[in-house]
Amino acid sequence: MTLTAPNNTVIVCDNLVRIFKIADVEAVALQGLDLLVDRSEMVAVVGASGSGKSTLLNILGGLDQPTAGRAVVDGNDLSRLSRAQRTRFRRQVVGVVWQQTARNLLHYLTAQENVELPMVLDGRRNRRQRAIELLELVGVGNRLRHRPIHLSGGEQQRVAIAVALANEPAVLLADEPTGELDSATSAEIFAVLRGVRERLGTTVVVVTHDALVMQQVPRTVAIRDGRTSSVTLRRSERSHDGDETVVTEEFAVLDRVGRLQLPRGHIEALGLRDRVRLRLEDDHVGVWPYLTRKIDNEPRAEARSATSEKDG
């Protein structure tokens, strides 16, 4: 069964599997992950260490290939690219911002020269003008001739974002972009990323272990054990009095074969294990712990851990 993606979707992960084999031991990093990201959307992919988020980023960035399933970025099926096509993909379709400055910037080049370098490798013209425009866009237009050692951590990440945008990629991937920054500077970097999405229309995917990032982006996708486990959406609502509030809702993800990952807190609070009772109602599904003895009037005694509206 193939995942159907709308026309404006730029990233499609369909039943993505990645297995690493070391000697005779196999480690499953991704096991059937599904993900859709719309063009010009800003999304955070959140997961604990070992959840598979770094493996996902490496696949989307063209640095690794899936063992099974399908990963498509801006029309490029990543499992079918030749070596030359994969090089072109990394240069033109995606830009990556890494947590470590040493992976983003060459220490002996100025900020402007670092931004120009990807354009040199891709044979582009008007490099100087575009580099200046990008550095102004990210807020370091006054630091053109400074080398990384003379820039603060936040300024280095701003330059790194400009470098990643040099060749006009459709997708910007950011791996823990604020992991080494304080909270105030982190908020500034996310403001820069939002500005990039709004002004350039670039799709932005942030991969992080920090669940607080959901306060900075409209949609957060949580992955656990190599699968998509939940999605958190943030939206603004205005009251009749004109006051604006931010509403945050968390949704569990139902995959194509009907599997549902409940939040760990729900499972622990209700003592769910091995198997659970289900009851289909008119507008929801009730889930509660399995008990060996039958409870009278079960619907009133149920401890519901998840509901799902029929209309989605």
* pLDDT of 309 higher than 80: no
- Which of 178, 172, 246 is CA-nearest to residue 213? 178
Gap between the terminal Cα atoms of the chain: 20
Say which residue, 124 or 262, is predicted with more confidence. Answer: 124
pLDDT for 247 equals 64
Enclosing H/E stretch for 18:
strand 9-22
Enclosing H/E stretch for 244:
strand 244-252
Distance CA 230, CA 142 (A): 42
Q: Are 73 and 5 in contact (CB under 8 A)?
A: no
Distance CA 227, CA 211 (A): 17
Q: Are 103 and 95 in contact (CB under 8 A)?
A: no
| pLDDT tens-digit readout, 86-115 | 999 999 999 999 988 788 999 999 999 999
- Which of 261, 262, 304, 260 is CA-nearest to residue 283? 304
Q: Are 219 and 45 in contact (CB under 8 A)?
A: no
Fold of the CATH domain 42-63+82-218: Rossmann fold (3.40.50)
Q: Which residues of 63-80 are buried (b: 16+ CB within 10 A; e: fewer)?
A: ebebbebbbbbbebebee
For residue 1, what pLDDT band results from cuts at 50, 70 and 90?
A: very low
pLDDT for 256 equals 63
Q: Say which range, 18-32, 152-166, 170-184, 294-308, has the weakest mean pLDDT.
A: 294-308
- Taking phi over 0 as left and psi of -120 to 50 as alpha, with beta for the rest, 40 belongs to left
pLDDT for 308 equals 44
Those residues with Cβ within 8 angstroms of residue 18's Cβ, 6 or more apart along the chain or in another chain: 28, 29, 30, 52, 55, 59, 64, 66, 67, 226
* pLDDT of 211 higher than 80: no
Token pair in block for residue 272: 């769910």
pLDDT for 166 equals 96
pLDDT for 85 equals 94
Instruction: Kindly report the average pLDDT of the chain as a whole number.
Output: 85
| pLDDT tens-digit readout, 215-260 | 888 899 988 888 877 777 766 566 667 666 666 666 777 766 677 7
**Where exactly does CATH 3.40.50.300 map onto the chain?**
42-63+82-218
Positive or negative, the CA dihedral 53, 56, 61, 63 is: positive
| pLDDT tens-digit readout, 35-89 | 999 999 999 999 888 888 999 999 999 999 999 999 999 999 999 999 999 999 9
Token pair in block for residue 282: 């008119």
pLDDT for 24 equals 76
CA angle 117, 176, 134 (to 5 degrees): 35
